[in-house]
Amino acid sequence: MAKRRKLIVGNWKMNGRLTSGLNLAREVADRATASMPLTFDIVLCPPATLIWPIAETLMGSPVLLGGQDCHYANHGAYTGDLSAGMLADLGCRYVILGHSERRMAYGEQGDLIAQKVTSAQLAGLTTIVCLGETLEQRASGATETAIVQQLSASLPDKYHASQLVVAYEPIWAIGTGEVPSVEEIRIVHRLIRRSLGVAGETVQVIYGGSVVPNNAESILQDDDIDGVLVGSASLNGDGFWTIADKAR
């Protein structure tokens, strides 16, 4: 089977102003351009306000752009929302969907996320669908059940595997400095692959949760881990590039 390409995604969340965001994007773009041709894909997901100025900054570099969420509808009376088509219009190639922060803060559940997947794939975006168990589920040995349930609930009946990435993000590992062992990540990634059936052979399954320069190498060197979704550590250009460079 062909080796899957690694994918490095920086999720800036609600961080960054015009100047700081442009500087950060420029630093990553310069480092990536100097390392061309890249053997992995690298994506920045800034807040929506910065997508367009950063799109201009990234032109000519191998760094790709993504949104942090989108609405399931293509347009209409949805105050404050953004559609997948709008993200694609600005040059985004990816969108993060079902992040645990949105699941928790806005009660987003599987059926809504599945609708967003359909709409985003229709707009031509690659959908990064996030899943992860809580600390309680982990402690009670319910990780595998939680992951399988979330995966099937978050995917529509029909989707394009070539436009799907699954991000395994244990909730207890996000922003805490706690990281599962590579063996634990591998077990969940293999479970996700099996659950996806034939699509599991090609879909990238990436890990997210307290990835930092010091732990990135062991995570990224594992063949069952196709990349990383990085939160806090993506806000530092040097640190983020150090992580990405471990995917070489």
Q: How far is 85 from 108, CA to CA, in rounded Å? A: 20
Cβ neighbors of 167 (< 8 A, separation 6 or more) are: 9, 96, 128, 129, 130, 131, 205, 206, 207, 208, 229
Q: Is the CB of residue 220 less than 8 Å from the CB of residue 6?
A: yes
Identity of residue 44: L
Supply the minimum distance, in Å, between the C-beta of residue 235 and ligand PEP. Answer: 9
The gap between the terminal CA atoms of the chain, to the nearest Å, is 19
Tokens read off for 177: 């400095």
Closer residue to ligand PEP, CB minimum distance, 45 or 85: 45
- Options 71, 99, 108, 189, the catalytic residue: 99
Closer residue to ligand PEP, CB minimum distance, 85 or 211: 211
Tell me which residue has its CB nearest to ligand PEP. 231
Residue 99: active-site member: yes
Q: How far is 238 from 30, CA to CA, in rounded Å? A: 11
Supply the minimum distance, in Å, between the C-beta of residue 60 and ligand PEP. Answer: 28
Supply the minimum distance, in Å, between the C-beta of residue 230 and ligand PEP. Answer: 5
Supply the minimum distance, in Å, between the C-beta of residue 94 and ligand PEP. Answer: 13
Neighbours of 220 (CB within 10 A): 24
Q: Is the CB of residue 7 less than 8 Å from the CB of residue 226?
A: yes
Residue 169: active-site member: yes
Supply the minimum distance, in Å, between the C-beta of residue 59 and ligand PEP. Answer: 26
Closer residue to ligand PEP, CB minimum distance, 65 or 85: 65
Identity of residue 78: Y
- Strand ranges (E), 132-208: 164-168, 204-208
Tokens read off for 181: 């062992």
Closer residue to ligand PEP, CB minimum distance, 131 or 229: 229
Q: What are phi and psi of 20, to 5 degrees?
A: -65, -40
Q: Is the CB of residue 131 less than 8 Å from the CB of residue 154?
A: yes
Give me the residues that bind ligand PEP (CB under 6 A), please: 11, 169, 174-175, 208-211, 229-233
Closer residue to ligand PEP, CB minimum distance, 32 or 219: 219
- Options 101, 133, 169, 189, the catalytic residue: 169
The catalytic residues are 99, 169
